[in-house]
Chains A and B, each alone.
Chain A
Amino acid sequence: METAHTDKNFEQKLNHLTDNLIKMSNIVEKQIEIAVNVIKSKDSSDAQTTQNLDEQVDEVERDVRDLSFEIMTLHRPVASDLRLVFTALKVSKELERMGDHSRNLAKRAISISSSFDEDLTDQMHNLGKGVQKMVNQTLESFFKKDEVQARISWNQDAEIDRQYKSLLSDLIERMHNKETSVVDEGTKPILIAKSLERIGDHATNIAEEVIFNITGHYIDLKKSDFE
């Protein structure tokens, strides 16, 4: 366990910063989980929940920003403390964007007709479940300071991208074939898939921040590193 600061006030603020990030992560994970379920359930009250949770996310993000600023101004953090504050600011921004995508995809999901192609719905749902798992593991790597896990999570994005591209080409092909249930929904399924893919990208960014927080370096990760 890390030694506590001599300055208890500083220690409390850093703990509070971490607590805020945990809180924000929990809300965003919940948001993603609900939004992914809405793809199948089309439950409008759940979609509304993602909207409500988004307001909470924005509020915690502002708290993280203000507290980080206060810590930098009053305590001049260095070394591991500086990296934590720097990472907190960037991770909170990524989480906030993930929340926005979750809210938007839930909103679009309830506007899709219940007669929409079941197979494509399953594909979107599976993509969502994959993203959900990736986000969970990335955030866990952050709080456990687990570099190996962060790299594994980062690597999962390749699979997310593969699934996204496959879903996209499937959607386009069916539009070409003028399958009514697909054509009628227009770009909505594409935008849902894109939101999920973007959440994966934000998780990738967080994984890079986790590695920086632990090592002090930004690693120029390439997908080929894992192949």
Chain B
Amino acid sequence: MVDQNSNYALQTSEVYVHYGKKMAINNVALNFPKNEVTSLIGPSGCGKSTFLRCLNRMNDVIDICNVKGKFLLNGNVDIYSPDIQVETLREKVGMVFQKPNPFPKTIYENVAYGPKIHGIASSQNELDEIVKDSLHRAGLYEEVKDRMDDIATGLSGGQQQRLCIARAIAIRPEIILMDEPCSALDPIATAKIEDLINELKENYTIIIVTHSMSQASRVSSKTAFFHLGNLVEYGETGKIFTKPDKEQTNDYITGRFG
């Protein structure tokens, strides 16, 4: 049951997702505590990315995808209510994808784009400040401050991903969804993103899908294990990786299947 507990940034219950007749998520209930990082783990096809995409209605654009369930933002906003505009929702719930996908625009324009279309900045000076602040928070400002007018696609993969994070936080979301944000990055770039995740949780709630067990254990305080569309186990990350309650979880994280 979804309750009105405001300690959660997002609460979900009785979530079912079908692609046509195929069930992808089967009666999942999962709540996300504010200012914490929650990892969603599980083998390919387990439903973790499908579930993540439900959280900012990314599945709306897939015709055959049917999402049912309760999704409550901050204890009182039903994100699937007809009254909620998807664009408004995505101001609150941002997303960073597996592959860095900067716009083919300048570094500045990449970060300024969101605040502009959402009307967040009231003046050029304010917009400049938002861009600078977002790049700072994403740990990228020092590296790009002298080349803000360069095309963003010229940045390294790790820098591009941090730019995408800066772009996501420029519109001041409450929740950031990350779908395998480091899978295309080298260990140093990965370490920078993980360090950033650790800093960002001060101000944001982060939900991250990852195939890397060690990444889940490093960055998150809560971990949810999915298998065949079911939520098998959810709990403190420390417990999941030392003594999970379910044998299926133990088998997966120790590499016995998947």
A contact residues vs B (CB 8 Å cutoff):
2-7, 10, 76-83, 215-217
A47 to B170, CA, bound (A): 77
Q: Which of A3, A216, A217 contacts B251 (CB 8 A)?
A: A3
List B216-258 residues whose CB lies under 8 Å from chain A.
217, 239-244, 249-251, 253-258
Which residues from B are CB-within-8-Å of A81? 254
Q: Are B255 and A80 in contact, with the CB atoms below 8 A?
A: no
Asked whether B185 is an interface residue with its Cβ less than 8 Å from the other chain, the reply is no
Contacts of B243 in A (CB 8 A): 79, 83, 215-217
Which of B213, B243, B249 has the largest number of chain A CB atoms within 10 A?
B243
Chain A CB within 8 A of B123 CB:
no
CA distance A77 to B256 in the complex (A): 12
Q: When A78-B217, A83-B242 are in contact, do A10 and B257 touch as well, CB less than 8 Å? A: no
Q: Does B125 contact A (CB under 8 A)?
A: no
Decide: B242 and A5 in contact? CB cutoff 8 A: no
B255 x A10 contact (CB < 8 A): yes
B122 within 8 A of A: no
Say yes or no: A5-B253 contact (C-beta < 8 A), given A78-B213, A79-B243, A83-B243: no
Chain A contacts of B85 at CB under 8 A?
none
Given contacts A3-B257, A5-B255, A216-B243, are A80 and B250 in contact (CB under 8 A)?
yes
* B214 on the A face (CB < 8 A): yes
B239 proximity list for chain A (CB < 8 A) = 216
Q: Which of A4, A6, A82 contacts B242 (CB 8 A)?
A: A82
Residues of B within 8 A of A79 (CB): 240-244, 249-250, 253-254
B54 shortest CB reach to chain A, Å: 28
Contact indicator B250/A6 (Cβ below 8 Å): no
A5-B254 in contact (CB<8A): yes
Partner of B241, one of A2, A3, A78, A215: A78
Contact A78 B253 (CB under 8 A): yes
With A5-B254, A6-B255, A79-B253 given, name 5 new contacts (CB 8 A): A4-B256, A5-B255, A78-B242, A79-B241, A80-B250
* Listed A/B pairs (15) with beta-carbon separation below 8 Å: A3-B251, A4-B256, A6-B255, A6-B256, A77-B254, A78-B213, A78-B254, A79-B241, A79-B242, A80-B254, A82-B241, A82-B242, A215-B243, A216-B239, A216-B243
Shortest B229–chain A CB gap in Å is 21
CB distance from B240 to the nearest CB of A (A): 8
B256 touches A3 (CB 8 A): yes
Whole-angstrom CA separation of A77 from B241 in the bound complex: 9
- Shortest Cβ distance from residue B252 to the other chain A in the assembled complex, whole angstroms: 9
